[in-house]
Amino acid sequence: MHEGRVIVRTLILVLFVGWAGLGSIQAAIIIDGYTAPTNDRFTNSNSFIASQFDLSGIGRTNGQWATLIAPNVVVSAFHARPATGSVVSFYASNDPNGTPVQRTVTAANQKIGSTDLWIGVLDSNVPSSIRTFAFSNTSLSGALPVGSNFSVDDAGVFQGANAYLVGLSQTSHIPQQSQAFGRNRITGYSENVPFLSNADNDSLIMDYDSSSSSNWVPYESRFVGGDSGAPMFVEYFNTVTQQQDLLLLGTNAFVANNGTFSGINYIGNQAAFINSFNSINAVPEPGSISLVLGCATVFVVRKCRRRSKLRC
């Protein structure tokens, strides 16, 4: 448990509905002020909010998400994982007319421990035109849940960080290209969020604020059904490229409080498992990364206290 942990909220778990049937659930991520040019990757617009980043390692099947952490290894949410034998499409640029690099998910995939994180192996490495993402190896901890009650604690270095949330597009109808980007600030960390039947769902949570709130950010966003398994990022300074880049913090997992809370499966607590996974020899070493969040100041966010109904 890191120094200065502060419990800022207790959420009461009431209901969770899994998103395994993604083929029939195709609602788009909610983004304040959404426009296709500013928020959809494959409009290939200079006004796209993540146009400065290489997003080629974000892949999709016909309905599921898969994000590269090594040339042949992807992560997603277990309850919304790509099936063995499914084809993942990666695009080297944001050009919708580009030819995708396609790889098949092999049987060498598995759930990560008792979490909702899933790791999969592709049938061959992607070419160098497709990037892999560094991921957090920062360990976080918090108060354990009591029954269906769980707490939102301080998220350490990530508390208040301005994050990129990814989900389905409101306008793109090509499944492999349905990738929209919004923003939010990280509200806190929750230990062992009791959703599905998993026992170790460590999560980062983002509160969805109205535009009148001081915590609101441009393109404030929240998850909806269909977004499970997509990646969530913060900015960091990549010491290799000497540029700002995206650090993977986890995969979309659940929504709560009638959609006002979005939760991800936090990847940092599983870094040791992932780095020992038998096909991950090429994973970037997060320990060698100089982690500098993309905002000049990391604001500590204290959002309003609400009781939450966890659902999807």
- How many angstroms separate the CA atoms of 65 and 70, rounded? 15
Residue 94 has pLDDT above 70, yes or no: yes
With a cut of 60, say whether residue 205 has pLDDT above it: yes
Own/partner pairs for 271-279, CB < 8 Å, 24+ apart? Answer: 271/135, 271/136, 271/137, 271/139, 273/112, 273/113, 274/69, 274/75, 274/112, 274/119, 274/135, 275/137, 277/73, 277/119, 278/108, 279/70, 279/72, 279/73, 279/108, 279/121
Q: What is the pLDDT of residue 91?
A: 98
pLDDT on residue 256 = 77
Using DSSP's 3-state secondary structure scheme, residue 273 falls into: helix
Higher pLDDT, 13 or 182: 182
Q: What pLDDT does residue 198 have?
A: 64
Tell how strand 261-266 and strand 203-207 pair up.
antiparallel
Confidence of residue 22 (pLDDT cuts 50, 70, 90): very low
Structure tokens at 293: 């969040």
Burial letters 136-168, b for 16+ CB under 10 A, else e: bbbebebbebeeeebbbbbbbbbbbbbbbbbbb
The pLDDT, as a whole number, for residue 295 is 40
Identity of the amino acid at 288: S
User: Which one is predicted more confidently, 50 or 214?
Assistant: 50
103 membership: H or E segment, kind and range: strand 101-104
Q: Structure pTM?
A: 0.85
Q: What are 18's two structure tokens? A: 């899994």
199/211 Cα distance (integer angstroms): 35
Average pLDDT over residues 226-232: 93
Distance, first Cα to last Cα, the chain: 29
- Reported as a single tens digit per residue, the pLDDT across 151-203 is 889 999 999 999 999 999 999 889 999 999 999 999 999 998 877 766 788 99
Whether the pLDDT of residue 289 is over 50: the answer is no
pLDDT for 299: 35
Please give the class, per CATH, of domain 7-288.
Answer: mainly beta
Give phi and psi for 206, each to the nearest 5. -120, 130
Q: Where are the domains of the chain?
A: 7-288
Where is average pLDDT lowest: 83-87, 92-96, 136-140, 298-302? 298-302
Distance between CA atoms of residues 10 and 201, nearest Å: 16
